[in-house]
Structure 1
Amino acid sequence: MTLLIRFLRSPEGVAGLVLLGLLISVALLASVFFPRDPLSIAGPALLPPFQDRAFPLGTDRLGRDVLAGLMHGARASLAVGIAATLVAMVVGALVGTIAGFAGGIVDEALMRIVDAFQIVPGFLLALAFVSVVGASLLVVILAIALGAWTGPARLARAEVLSIRERDYVAAARVIGMHPLEIAIREVLPNALPPVLALGSVIVAGAVLTEAALSFLGLGDPNLVTWGSMIAEGRNVLRTAPFLSIIPGIGLVLTVLGIYLFSEGLGEALARRRIRA
């Protein structure tokens, strides 16, 4: 029984996969349905949803199409979440593998660095980094990754500590492989599955962090994001609450889809380990 079959037997995993598939489709098709800049004025201001076929979800205070912003915002949110997670996973997995495999003073030094980063909450670290460096897409990705790499590092280290004394690692030492080559080629691939399962949680956190930064005006000003749309709607919350509610629903569905997907993936990996 493959991992995919075990995953598809999980109702939570299937539901999460469907939700994420829909959201990714929306993000990929944004430029097809709305090739114009979503920040451009498209119609009358503050048009309510379902009042005009040209603007199914209405328009904001400046007359920008809410549906266009929602679809382009999905692309921005998912791109930032996935990119920040990849950076955090790569850095964390490498640091954790080196720390766990080397041991001794190297392990102590790297873990103290991890502790130093974990002292400060990830959102505050991202907030400070963006405030100092400046708001741009790349800076936001690095800022989020800066507060998210410690989890994969600790998990990878724990896995490596249980792997490094196994027979195939000892055999690699005997045939004269360099310790760094053993760590990267032999140990790291076997320590990755739990770290990859953590990745979905990091994506959800990254999406929410990006939305919070954009809500505070620290996102990329040249991009439409769900956080910036919620912030825009805050100014007319009493008269046009849909401007904040619609992107808020998008955020909820994204995080829910990622959570359900991670639940299904975790169950599939757990069953795989039990059978192994």
Structure 2
Amino acid sequence: MSFFRRFSRSPEAVIGASILGVLVVMALFAPLLFPRDPLSIAGPALLRPFQDWSLPLGTDRLGRDVLAGLFHGARTSLAVGLASAATAIIIGTIVGTLAGFAGGLTDEALMRITDAFQTVPGFLLALAFVSVIGPSLFVVVLAIALGTWTGPARIARAEVLSIRERDYVASARVIGMHPLEIAFREVLPNALPPVLALSSVIVAAAILTEAALSFLGLGDPNRVTWGGMIAEGRTVLRSAPFLSIIPGIALVLTVLGVYLAGEGAVETTAVRRGRS
């Protein structure tokens, strides 16, 4: 049975994949459906949802289209989540592979660096980093990755420690392959699947962290973000609660979709390994 057939038999995985599919469609079609700058004024301020069908979800305090912000915010959330996860996994797998394969002082030094990063909560590290460097999409991605690479590093190290003594690794040493070539060509590909299982958790955490930074005014000021939309609506929460509720629901559904799809993929892969 193929991976996709097994994946489709899990209700949680299907729900998660469906939510992610909607998010991807929103991100891809945002410039086509809403070609204007989402930060530009589109109508009267504080227009409630469904009062004007040209602005279905209403407008914020400055008269900006909430629906346009929701679609363009999906682009930001998806970009930050995927880029942060990719960066964290790349950094973590490199550090973990080097530590596990080299051993000795190299392992000790790299693991102490990992411990130092783990002692600081990821959000506080991202907050401090963005506050010092300045808010931009690249800085936010890097800040989130700095707080999440330690998990992939530890898992990669544990996997490499169990793989490095296998026969094919010993054979590679005998034929004279360079240690780095053995580590990254022979060992790392076999250690990577457990590390990739963390990707959904990292993506979900990255989306939430980016929203929190934007809520505090530390997101990219040139981009619409769901956290920024929630922050914009808090000053008129009593009179116009939809300004915070709508992006808040989108944020919750996105994180839920990422988590469910990731869990479904991990379970499907685990079933395939068990049967093989």
Q: Same fold (TM over 0.5)?
A: yes
AA matched with 1:20: L
Question: Partner residue of 1:135?
Answer: 135
The gaps in structure 2 that reach 5 residues or longer are none
Name the SS of the counterpart of 1:43 in structure 2.
coil
Q: Which amino acid in the other structure matches residue 152 of structure 1?
A: P
Contact 1:230 1:247 in 2 (8 A): yes
8 A Cα contact 1:80 1:210, kept in partner: yes
For 2:8 and 2:93, how far apart are their aligned partners in 1? Answer: 27
Q: Which amino acid aligns with 1:218?
A: L
Give the letter aligned to residue 234 of structure 2: R
Is residue 146 of structure 1 aligned with residue 146 of structure 2? yes
User: In 2, distance between residues paired with 1:82 and 1:40?
Assistant: 27
The aligned counterpart of 1:253 is 253
CA contact (8 A) 1:210 1:227 kept: yes
Deviation at 1:9, TM superposition (A): 2.4
Q: Which position in structure 2 is the counterpart of 1:19?
A: 19
Aligned to 2:263: 263
- Structure 2: distance between partners of 1:202 and 1:265: 15
The verdict on how the C-alpha distance between 1:9 and 1:166 changes in structure 2, with shifts beyond 3 A counting, is: farther
**Partner SS state of residue 7, structure 2:** helix
Secondary structure of 1:227's match? helix
Mapped pair 1:45 → 2:45: yes
**TM-score normalized by structure 2?**
0.98
Q: Which letter maps to 1:136? A: S
Is the Cα–Cα contact under 8 Å of residues 16 and 257 in structure 1 kept in the other structure? Answer: yes
Alignment-mate amino acid for residue 238 of structure 1:
R
Which residue of structure 2 lines up, in the alignment, with residue 168 of structure 1? 168
**Greater shift in the superposed pair: 23-32 or 7-16:** 7-16
1:134 Cα deviation after fit: 0.5
- On the 8 A contact 1:27/1:71 being kept in 2, the answer is yes
Supply the distance in 2 between the matched residues of 1:3 and 1:164 (Cα, whole angstroms).
29
Equivalent in the alignment of 1:244? 244
Note the C-alpha offset of 1:179.
0.7
How many angstroms apart in 2 are the aligned matches of 1:272 and 1:180?
31
Does 2:95 align with 1:62?
no
Assess if the C-alpha contact under 8 Å between 1:42 and 1:64 holds in 2: yes
Contact 1:38–1:68 under 8 Å retained in 2: yes
Query: Helix, strand or coil for the counterpart of 1:29?
Result: helix
Cα pair 1:10 1:267 within 8 Å, conserved: no
- Match of 1:210, SS state, is helix
CA deviation after TM superposition for structure 1 residue 203, in Å: 0.2
Q: Which residue of 1 aligns with 2:35?
A: 35
Structure 1: unaligned runs, 5 residues or longer: none
Q: What's the offset of the Cα at 1:166?
A: 1.2
How many positions carry a matched residue from both structures? 276
- What are the superposed Cα offsets for residues 9-33 of structure 1, whole Å, 9 maximum, x if unpaired? 2221121111101111001100000
Q: What percent of counterpart residues are identical? A: 76
Q: Which stretch shows the higher mean deviation, 155-164 or 3-12?
A: 3-12
Deviation beyond 4 Å, 4+ runs, structure 1 = none
Note the alpha carbon deviations across 1:223-268, whole angstroms, 9 max, x for none.
1000000000000000000000000011011000001011101101
Distance 2:269 2:151 in 1: 19
The code of the aligned residue for 1:66 comes to V
Q: Give TM-score scaled by structure 1 length.
A: 0.98
1:157-236 aligned at under 5 Å gives the runs: 157-236=157-236
Aligned to 1:91: 91
Q: Which amino acid aligns with 1:56?
A: P
Secondary structure of 2:198 counterpart? helix
In structure 1, how many angstroms separate the alpha carbons of the residues matched to 2:101 and 2:154?
13
After superposing the two structures, state which structure 1 stretch, 213-222 or 259-268, moved more.
259-268
Q: 1:78-119 CA distances to partner (integer Å, 9 max, x unpaired)?
A: 101111111101000111011111111111110000000000
